[in-house]
Amino acid sequence: MLNQGGTRNTFPSLNRRPAFEAADYGLYALGPVRHFTQNARIFSEGDNADNFLKVVAGVVRSCKIFSDGRRQIDAFYVPDDVFGFEFGAEYSLSAEAVCDCTVISYRWPGLEMLAANNQGLSLQLFSYMIKNLGQAQQHARLLASRSALEKMVSFLLMWAEHSGNSSVADLLMSRQDIADYLGLTVETVSRTLSYLKGLALIELASPREIYLKDIVQLQLLCG
Amino acid sequence: MLNQGGTRNTFPSLNRRPAFEAADYGLYALGPVRHFTQNARIFSEGDNADNFLKVVAGVVRSCKIFSDGRRQIDAFYVPDDVFGFEFGAEYSLSAEAVCDCTVISYRWPGLEMLAANNQGLSLQLFSYMIKNLGQAQQHARLLASRSALEKMVSFLLMWAEHSGNSSVADLLMSRQDIADYLGLTVETVSRTLSYLKGLALIELASPREIYLKDIVQLQLLCG
DNA sequence: CGTCTCCTTGATTGAAATCAACTTAGGTGG
DNA sequence: CCACCTAAGTTGATTTCAATCAAGGAGACG
C-alpha cells in the first residue's frame, strides 16, 4: 500500500492495534517465510487462491497481462502490507517480486468460518480490505489525472510518504513498473522526471533515488 | 455496481444469500426510504459518515470535485447496491442522484461492534466491500485502457450487462457523467459513439438508449 | 573490455482535448 | 397546440500532449 498508515487513513482506531501476527487469531502459517529474487513470480493469475500473503521485506507488485501484451500494475505492496486476498477459487491477478523480497503465507480460513469464529481476525481482515479499497480508489484517481506530469508527481509524493522521510522517494521499481502503474510509457516517465529536474523540483541521486526539493511546489502541480 | 452479481463475481457462495434486509441482523434503519430528484445531493464530501445507504430505485453516482473544477466519478450504483461505506468520521466522496431515485439509510454500527456481535451482518458487509473492491479494480482497468474506443465499448458492455438484457444499454446518465467516469470529454464520448454507429455496431434509439448490434465484435474491440 | 539491461533523449506521428458552432430534445407558458 | 427557450448532444477545425519510432548513454557483470 502506498498510503501506508498515512494521510488518507479511514479508520484511525485500527492503526493503534498491534501488527498482524501469525500467532494471533489462530491463523495457520503455511511454512516459514519465503524468499523471492527480483522479478520472480509469487503467484499467477488462475492459481488456486487458498492462501494470502504478507510482505516481510522488499516490494511486491500485483499485475495483469493482457492479450495484446500490455501489462497493468494494480498495486505495489510494501512491508506489512497484506495481499493475495481472493474470495473465489483463483487469483485474478499475478504477484511478482519488484526487488528481492520476503513474504509469509497464511491459509485463507474461508469467509464464513472467519466471520463465525474469530472476531479479532475478522476485524484485522476488514482493515486490510479497507486499505486495499482505499488504494484502489486512489489508483483510479491517479489514472484519471489530466496529464503525465500530474500522475508522476502524485506518484512521487505518495511513494516518498510511505517511507518515513517524505522528501526522498526511494524507487525500488523500474521505469517500466512505474509506467505500467500510471498508464504511461517508459519514455514519458523518463521525460517527465527530466522535466521536473529541469524545474529544480527534484534531484536524481541515482535513477532510482529521487530527492524532492520543493514539496509544496510539487503538491501544487497535482491539484 | 456495474458488474452486479455478474461475470466477475469473486465469492459465489455469497450470491445465494438472501438480499440485504433491514430487519435482518438488527440493523437500525434511519427512518423510511428517501427520494431524491435528478442531480440532488445525497451526501457531500466531509459530511458526518455515520450511516450507509442502499439504492432502492434509480441510479446514484459517487464523485469528487477537484480544486480546478474537474469532476471524477468513482462509481455508479444501481438498485440493491450499497454505498457510502466509510470507516472514518467523514465521507471522502459525494453522492448524487443520477436520475430520480430512492434510497434507504442504515446506521453504521461501527466496525468493532460489528465484528464482535454479528456474524451474519459481518458477512454481508464483507460481501459488499468485496463488491466495491472488485468494481474499483475494474474501474482502474477501464481508466488505463489504451484508447477512448476501448473505454467506451467496455463501458457499454458493462452497463448493458448489469440490466438483464445484455444487448441494450439503457444509459440513465448524461454524456458528461460518462465522460467523468471514463476520464474523457463529452465531445470524445459523443464522437466515439458516432464512430461505433458508423461501423453499425450500435444503434441509438435515443441519445440514451443504445442497441448493441454485434456484441462479439464489440468485445473484440476491448481486448 | 565487451555485452546486456536500464534509462534518457530526439524526431515524428497520432489521438484526444480544446475551442467553436450547430442540432436536437424536452419543458414551459402563451 | 405551437413557439419559444434551455439544456444536452453532435459535429467540425485546430492544437496539444503523449505514444511511437529510433538512437544514444550509463551502469552492472562476466
Per-residue pLDDT reduced to its tens digit, A200-216: 999 999 999 999 999 99
Nearest residue of B to residue A137 by CA position?
B136
Q: Tell whether the model's pLDDT for residue A2 goes beyond 60.
A: no
* pLDDT-based confidence at residue A106 (cuts at 50, 70, 90): confident
Structural contact between residues B158 and B2, judged by C-beta atoms closer than 8 angstroms: yes
**Can you give the pLDDT at residue A38?**
96
Alpha helices in A63-144 (DSSP H): 111-117, 119-143
**Can you give the pLDDT at residue A173?**
98
The per-residue pLDDT for range A162-184, each reduced to its tens digit, is 888 889 999 999 999 999 999 99
Compute the half-sphere exposure of residue A81: CA atoms within 13 Å on the CB side of its CA.
24
**Can you give the pLDDT at residue A22?**
44
Q: Tell whether the model's pLDDT for residue A24 goes beyond 80.
A: no
Q: Among candidates A130, A141, A146, A6, which has minimal Cα distance to B68?
A: A146
Each as own residue / partner, the long-range contacts of residues A214-218 (CB below 8 Å, 24 or more positions apart, any chain) are: A215/A157, A215/A166, A215/A167, A218/A153, A218/A156, A218/A157
CA distance A96 to A69: 17
Mutate to test the interface with B, among A2, A8, A9, A10 (most CBs of B within 10 A): A10
Structural contact between residues B102 and B56, judged by C-beta atoms closer than 8 angstroms: yes
**Can you give the pLDDT at residue A117?**
64
**Can you give the pLDDT at residue B3?**
34
Alpha helices in chain B (DSSP H): 12-15, 111-117, 119-143, 148-162, 175-182, 186-198, 215-221
Four-CA torsion B15, B18, B23, B29, nearest 10 degrees = 40
- Please state whether strand D lies within 7 Å of residue A183 at its CB atom: yes
pTM of the model: 0.88
- The alpha-carbon gap from B10 to the nearest alpha carbon of chain A, in Å, equals 5
User: Residue for cell digits 461492534?
Assistant: B113
CB contact under 8 A, A115 and B126: yes
Three-class DSSP category at B39: coil
* pLDDT-based confidence at residue A144 (cuts at 50, 70, 90): very high
**Is any Cβ of chain B less than 8 angstroms from the Cβ of A183?**
yes
Contact residues on chain B for A123, CB-CB shorter than 8 A = 111-112, 115
CA distance B11 to A118: 19
Nearest residue of A to residue B134 by CA position?
A133
Residues 10-69 of B with CB under 8 A from A: 10-14, 64, 66-68
**Residues of chain B where predicted confidence (pLDDT) is lower than 50:** 1-20, 22-25
